[in-house]
Amino acid sequence: MPRRASTPRPKPARLPYAFWIIWASLLINKAGGFVMVMMTIYLTVQRDLSLSMAGIVVGAHGAGAIGGMLTGGVLTDRIGRKKTIVTSMFATTIVLGVLVVVSNVFLIAALVTVLGFVSVMAGPASVAAIADVVEPEERSRAFNIMYWAQTLGMGAASLLGGLLAMFSFPLLFALDAVSALTAGLLVLFGVRESLKKGDDPVTGEPEPDRGTLGRVLRDRPYMLFVGLTFMQALMFSQTSSTLPLAMKRDGLSETQFGTALACGTVLVVLGQLAVPRLIDRFGKAQVLAVSLAGSGLGFGLLGFASTFAMYVSCVLVWTVASMLAAPPNATIIAELSPGPMRGRYQGVFSVTFAAAAFVAPTAGGFTLQYLGDWHWAIVCLVGVAAAAGHLLTGPARERAAKERAALTAANAVKAA
């Protein structure tokens, strides 16, 4: 990767109190997110569904999340960051409480779809709120710390979820609901609304239209970035869809599945906070290319895995690579999106993960069943193709970010 000119690193500024409240809410919610981590096993073991049918039901969560991300993005820019987060967390608590007592497969699929819709609405709002309260020069560090918290939470959910599933699935659902409720209350009482009404800093127009997505969808540099992120999301959706099925097929237990993912979490906890210092010397497109190619390699190696140690090795490979991607991804969104539209930009970006959560288990259940280990070769190719895409589109994206930053600064001076 070509290096950028190095400059002395100033002492990091203290991140605002509101950031840490949002950070804590994300950590609590992710750490309690047991249900969807173990949903495939729950459906096949407790509800006696086939692998392909379980994949379809889990995929319904991703289908609901697509609408939830877009709705969350619009609400973030319309009613505010705080209200959107709180609404999402409280609705998630209610749906989880109903889902645990339902046994009909069609009702389960419907509720899983609703759960996907309401649970992800907080995502765009959380990222937009962080971008609002953190200074631009500190955003890379803030988003890196946010990713660290999310990964720590998801790792804890994988490890604890595997243990809880061996004793009580109702307890698993109950603790997930409590974590969502706690996260919502924390934001409700600890964070002020950060959405500012006023002139659009890019166009200079008073009270910009916050309700449509057309402007985002016509943003060519941003939408190319979103498309490449979808390919990234397809890879990492394997960890909650086809990976547990592959490990179970090889005779490994739910606890071993959770432990394997937890090993990756330990690596993130130990090393993620050092990532900004490592990658700041390089261009964001080059960092993303290395990250996605390395992640594809890690998933591709699963085709040769059959023991617990081999699965853990693959997890460690893609974890090291994935650690590089979070800061540049979040920074690119903040650079390309104007303040009053951050919710919509983040919502469109987040749809990639929701769409992948639908496509990955739906298609992966069939490809793993009928193609076997060749499924992982396909996943590897997706990662390599996405890496090449970032190298090709990165220069134009950087130019667009600089032009928008200059325009925003000029309009701010003009308004002052």
Mean pLDDT by 10 residues, the chain (416 residues): 51 82 93 83 77 79 84 88 94 92 86 92 90 83 85 78 78 90 94 71 46 76 92 84 79 79 80 77 87 91 85 88 84 79 83 78 71 82 92 88 73 62
Domain at 21-194+213-415: CATH code: 1.20.1250.20
Tokens of 171: 């307890």
Tokens of 251: 């005779």
Tokens of 298: 């890690």
What are the distances in angstroms from CA 207 to CA 198, 204, 217, 246, 340?
5, 9, 20, 52, 9
Q: What is the pLDDT of residue 186?
A: 95
Which residue matches tokens 């200059």? 406
**Cβ atoms 122, 22 nearer than 8 A:** no
Q: What is the pLDDT of residue 140?
A: 78
Q: What is the pLDDT of residue 211?
A: 45
Which residue matches tokens 């650079």? 335
pTM of this structure: 0.72
Please list the residues that pair with 282 across neighbouring strands: 3
Sign of the dihedral defined by the CA atoms of residues 205, 211, 214, 216, in that order: positive
Distance spanning both ends of the chain, measured CA to CA: 41
Sign of the dihedral defined by the CA atoms of residues 34, 35, 40, 46, in that order: positive
Q: What is the pLDDT of residue 209?
A: 47
Burial class (CB in 10 A: 0-12, 13-18, 19+), 137: exposed
